Amino acid sequence: MTRRIILFFGAPGSGKGTQSAWLSTQLGIASLSTGEMLRNQAKQDTPEGRRLKEILANGSLVSDSTVCEVVAARLSRGVPKSGLILDGFPRTLAQAKCLDDLVGKLGLDEPLVLHLDAEPQRLIERLTARRQCPTCRTIYNLRSLPSRGGLQCEMDGTDLVQRDDDKEAVIRRRFTEFESSCGPVIEHYRDRDYYRIPCAGRPDEIASQLLRVVVGESRQVAA
């Protein structure tokens, strides 16, 4: 393993959170979700916290400058030798360019981009069934990945909740945002270490595919 950043890219509901958390455990690489970081900031009872809360509840994207600042601050605190997983960043071309600058400045390896690609209709069904534990943040799905504790988290028994932005109208807006910003990001990475992973299968099948890509890539980098 190297000081490399693994990027999870994909539409809302494509499984970035679930798969990045799984890969993080399998490989012992820390994983950071910009969505989680922003949701935490939005809990603060400050003008900035309230502004973020409104943007998140609307399903819009947070400004490039805010997200880049959050990511730059985190990466500047140090990237472990094993690397780092970034879930949900970059989402726009400006963010991808900002990450290029950071990678250069911090002397990191070229990022590995994992694009989870799935049909929008499947994703809408998946998102409306998504539930999360507010205590340990574990993600479940009422249909495809239910908790063994029913409507409670199987880890700690907390009642599962639905994210505000997982309501259908908001989901549709999040898709529109993604559709309009994803093309230039894909173009930016297409000729680099970029892998498009079709997400039609079961979560465990997708996970094995991701692991094969990441382990295969690490061997190439080490060779």
Q: Which residue has the tokens 């472990």?
A: 80
Q: Which stretch binds ligand AMP (CB under 6 A): 75-83, 90-98, 113-121, 145-153?
A: 90-98
What order of strands is seen across the sheet that includes strand 109-117?
A: 30-33, 84-87, 4-10, 109-117, 194-198
Give catalytic status of residue 219 as yes or no: no
Gap between the Cα atoms of 12 and 175, Å rounded:
7
Q: Which of 173, 204, 197 is CA-nearest to residue 12? A: 173
**Alpha-carbon distances, residue 118 vs 53, 108, 160, 206 (angstroms):** 28, 30, 25, 11
Q: Is 68 in the site for ligand AMP (CB under 6 A)?
A: no
Q: Is 35 in the site for ligand AMP (CB under 6 A)?
A: yes
Q: Is 91 in the site for ligand AMP (CB under 6 A)?
A: yes
Q: Is 62 in the site for ligand AMP (CB under 6 A)?
A: yes
Q: Which residue has the tokens 């012992």?
A: 28
Q: Is 130 in the site for ligand AMP (CB under 6 A)?
A: no
Q: Which stretch binds ligand AMP (CB under 6 A): 32-40, 107-115, 137-145, 149-157?
A: 32-40
Closest residue by beta carbon to ligand AMP: 35
Give the rounded distance of the alpha carbon of 183 from its chain centre: 17
Binding site for ligand AMP (CB under 6 A): 12, 33-35, 38, 55-56, 59-62, 67, 88-91, 95, 165, 174
Indicate which residues carry an active-site annotation: 16, 91, 130, 163, 174
